[in-house]
A and B are shown apart, each in its own frame.
Chain A
Amino acid sequence: MRSDWMRECAMETDNHTVSSNSGAIALGPVGRIPPGEGRCFKIGARQAAVFRQRDGAVFALQARCPHQGGPLADGLIGAGAVVCPLHGRRFRLSDGAGVDNELAARSYPVEVRGATIFIRGLEQP
């Protein structure tokens, strides 16, 4: 799933078509997220939890846990998942699927170009 998006993005970059009208939003420098952690980004009234694995891979999920609204960005990550800090439910970083539970978080395509994080698909609130 993720690799499809990477391919798409690569194409877009090649064509220099990435701009606000392609829907990609710049979230600022990747250094805003300490390695291995997540942060909640606000874009106007929209928000997303963006994670940066120690290996450099970046992922984005809905900001609030589908269980009871816990702040996913504050969760521990590892083994490709984030653990919600409130009640410990796990969600896969790549697609938001619940690892040990039936719930699922929305995931958004993200990418780092240069040192900037771009996100796409954030729906209007």
Chain B
Amino acid sequence: MMAENMINGGKEKLVVIGTGMAAGRAVEEITNRAPGRFEIAMYGAEPHTIYNRILLSEVLAGTKSPESVFLYSTQWFERRGVTLASGARVEAIDRAQKTIALEGGGQASYNKLIIATGSLPMVPPIENINTPGVFVFRTINDCQLIAAYARRCRRAAVVGGGLLGIEAARGLLEHGLEITVVEVMPYPMAQQLDPESGAMLARRLESIGLKFLFEKATQRVLGSGRVRGLRFKDDTAIDTDMVVISCGIRPNVRLAVDAGLAVERGIVCDDRLLTSDPDIYSVGECVEHRGRTYGLVAPLFEQARVLADHITGANPEAAYGGSRISTRLKVMGVDLVSVGDAREGPGAVVTRYAEPHRGVYKKLVVRGGKLAGAILLGEVDCAAAVIAAYENDAAAPPRHADLLFGAGGGADTADALPMEAAVCTCHQVSKRVVVERIAAGCKLPQLCAETRAGTGCGGCRPQLEALIAKYGGAGRDPAADYYVKSVPLAKPELIAEIRRRGLRSVSAVIRELGGGLDDPASKPGLASLLRTVWRDRYEDERDARFINDRVHANIQNDGTFSVVPRIYGGVTSPGQLRRIAEVAEKYGVRMVKITGGQRIDLLGVKREDLPAVWRDLGMPSGHAYTKALRTCKTCVGQEFCRYGVGDSTALGIAIERRFQGVETPHKMKLAVSGCARNCAESTVKDVGVVAVPGGWQIHVGGAAGLRVRAADLLATVSTQEEALTIIGRFIQYYRENARYAERSPAFVERIGIQRLRALLIEDCEGQAQRLDREIQAEIENYRDPWTEGRQPHDPMQFRGEVQA
């Protein structure tokens, strides 16, 4: 049979109409099963490659770029021998000739065809709907049009209070608009919710800034030339500057209808996803299977698997039996999961639990002893267990509430879930698979990349994290304790081995302790450790360093570098400023910027200019490019400020002079504030000092980067000298005990502030003096790295491009 399909002895031609998520997944499944079997051509009307439509609310909100939701790279298509034509709309299918015709001319022949045209937004009959300023919300292009138009608007109305309408409304809030959601029903998400939970959801959404108008049927768009308002069937009206229609979807079946395929609501397919033509398959939202159409990705992915099994012959027995669906509202701060059909009525046994003061509502509907549907609002910790019970069609427990709260009361999602149940419902990844990957050492990003869990709607990420916390703990995966990946030793053992064997270079460590594997990601960590252990007796192999540490500047996105000279305590002088200005002009610095660390950044310096820039500045390195002491921010303090109780600038300058150049497991940012008003933001610094009457408080482990954490109070001391001693002791302890790239907040949390106080202040183990001596030696060893501008480590150090 295959032979007759061959054209000129070539491969069978597979044409795919549509480049949505279903089409992408079908092609992926097909090329996984039978690489090279088909010559595959995909045609998509949208100008973009295949992307994750689920994340469009975030694109609309501007929190994700369009590119970041693309699903496959160009190389992916190349490797799989798939050609993808974007912006290519298919006009017609000629089943007799087995060809398709493209809009604007051009055609292609096929042996097998897949129709994956998805669906179109449903636009209800509203008068004047073509007024500029009315949009639908389905594609990247829609997001871009809406965002561009929103800039000129103050108010927007979203017609349709369903799942997508709410997500669209939430996205539009990010554009600073006043949003009104207009809904015919008396509460939002009427398809999934009941009146009680609907009212609670509306209150919750109002609290984040949305307005609702219920029981309003939109009749007419007001305004000519552009939208001015909406009028409803009850003759009331509102003013608005733009309108987004979100009233559901309808399968996009025109091509199939024209081609004479069997079409009802969607393109009618059998359990193999075959249409009424044996050479034409269909997959996705355009499909009608056993009388049902779907509007979520999980069913499409199931369909894609069966289609692939069948079209490649990998499993001719494969059959699609329909999907059981659950949905999750993806609005930050609102937890809502709806499972199956939670409508009441004859034969339904209903379990309801509500805590209106917390906005929590849970409802289970059991029919014939099995879970038929559920609503979980405000608290969804039991969602995975409920979804699993529904999807597995398992008998409900005798006490139905056990599904909500676990048999022992208080269900932990991760625990409650059976091993075979799906954690990620978008991609149907089972808990077993996730746990196996975690046991093999996967952290979240890798886990997502390898299993795809968490890469659909992202709603299961908290559960993935919970599973990592549970199964990825120490003991299970010793690698988590390794100082660097490629050397199987935790930091204390590694230091001991390095000392015992006298290993002074990164190559030596790799050779003797790392089995010779020169993992590039592990080298900088080893270099840093060796410098801490051997100080100036360390054998400096520059190739073990990241580029920044080879040239003592921070690499920029265009390959140039930034130069941040040290400005002690943020206090500068007219002379210094003048020199900086001259250097900036002389070397054509692209931008001069005041940094968030109270100093000045010269951005866009060429590698070969670095030595001259440093020489002309005559200022030491600010170490803004490396894992070392960065800045010590200060406030004006006692010298000028009417509230100041301590000389914060003087202490800040003293701190920076004393600890400059000290290398640490990760960067350290310090600050000194002159009073409790904390103008230098000391309590979100790795080490932050706050003046109090008669002394100084020293806080450690604060952060205001990826995660915000208030620092813990380590000690209160009475003099500057004591402050410097305690800070030095903490820094040295951190240097000796933190993992590579472990910032102080994580470190302080890991060791515990009580333990740190006992060790560093009460000196419970008698280490204090040794730590003080070690850090003093390190300080005496300080050498400004920028002096290498005058005496390069090797002649090529500052050579950017080499002429052949």
Contacts and interface: CB of A to CB of B under 8 A. Distances in A.
Interface string B495-526: 00000000000010000000001111111100
A35 B796 CA distance: 11
Interface stretch (A1-9, A11-19, A66-74): A66-74
A36 B73 contact: no
A10 interface: no
Interface stretch (B148-156, B290-298, B397-405, B536-544): B536-544
A68 B802 CA distance: 22
B543 A83 contact: no
Contacts of A70: 557, 559
Interface string A31-55: 0111111011111000100000010
A interface residue count range (under 10 / 10 to 19 / 20 to 34 / 35 or more): 35 or more
B226 interface: no
28 contacts: A32-B796, A33-B796, A36-B542, A36-B544, A37-B550, A40-B800, A41-B802, A41-B803, A42-B802, A43-B803, A54-B507, A54-B518, A71-B555, A75-B520, A75-B547, A76-B520, A76-B521, A76-B523, A78-B519, A79-B517, A81-B520, A83-B520, A85-B546, A85-B555, A86-B555, A86-B557, A90-B520, A102-B73
Contacts of B558: 69
Given A32-B796, A79-B519, A103-B75, A42 B801 contact: yes
Contacts of B353: none
B804 A27 contact: yes
A64 B1 CA distance: 48
B234 interface: no
A26 interface: yes
Given A36-B544, A74-B555, A81-B520, A47 B76 contact: no
Main secondary structure of the interface of B (DSSP, over half): loop
Nearest to B446: A100
Contacts of A34: 542-543, 794, 796-797
A83 B521 contact: yes
Contacts of B544: 36, 76
B755 interface: no
Nearest to B797: A34
- Top 5 A-B residue pairs of the complex, sorted by shortest distance between their CB atoms: A36-B543, A78-B520, A78-B518, A102-B75, A71-B559
A104 interface: yes
A98 to B, nearest CB: 7
A25 interface: yes
Contacts of A68: 557
B642 interface: no
Contacts of A54: 507, 518, 543
Interface of A: 25-28, 32-37, 39-43, 47, 54, 68-71, 74-79, 81-83, 85-86, 90, 98, 101-104
B803 A42 contact: yes
Interface string B771-804: 0000000000000000000000010110111111
A31 to B, nearest CB: 8
Q: Give the most central of A68, A70, A82: most B CB within 10 Å.
A: A70
A22 B546 CA distance: 37
Nearest to B517: A79
B79 interface: yes
B65 to A, nearest CB: 13
Q: How large is the interface on B (under 10, 10 to 19, 20 to 34, 35 or more residues)?
A: 35 or more
A36 B541 contact: yes
A96 B678 CA distance: 52
A32 to B, nearest CB: 6
A119 B395 CA distance: 70
A98 B79 CA distance: 12
Contacts of B804: 25-28, 41-43
A10 B450 CA distance: 43
Nearest to B607: A74
Q: From B76, B546, B797, B801, name the one whose CB has the most chain A CB atoms within 10 angstroms.
A: B801
Interface in B99-132: none
A28 B802 contact: yes
Most buried by B among A41, A78, A83: A78
Identify the interface centre among A32, A77, A102: most chain B CB within 10 Å of its CB: A102
Contacts of A39: 796, 799, 801-802
A99 B546 CA distance: 19
Residue of B524, B543, B797, B803 most packed against chain A (CB within 10 A): B543
Nearest to B74: A102
A33 B459 CA distance: 49
Nearest to B79: A102
Nearest to A71: B559
A71 B46 CA distance: 34
Contacts of A36: 541-544
Nearest to B542: A34
Given A69-B559, A78-B523, 14 more contacts: A34-B542, A34-B796, A34-B797, A37-B542, A40-B801, A41-B802, A42-B801, A54-B507, A70-B559, A76-B523, A79-B517, A79-B518, A102-B79, A104-B75
B503 to A, nearest CB: 16
B524 A32 contact: no
Contact of A79 (B75, B520, B542, B803): B520
Nearest to B522: A78
A82 B520 CA distance: 8
A119 to B, nearest CB: 8
Contacts of B518: 54, 78-79
Interface string B59-84: 00000000000001101100100000
A12 to B, nearest CB: 19
Contacts of B803: 41-43
A55 B432 CA distance: 43
Nearest to B793: A34
Nearest to A88: B521
Nearest to A28: B804
Contacts of A82: 520
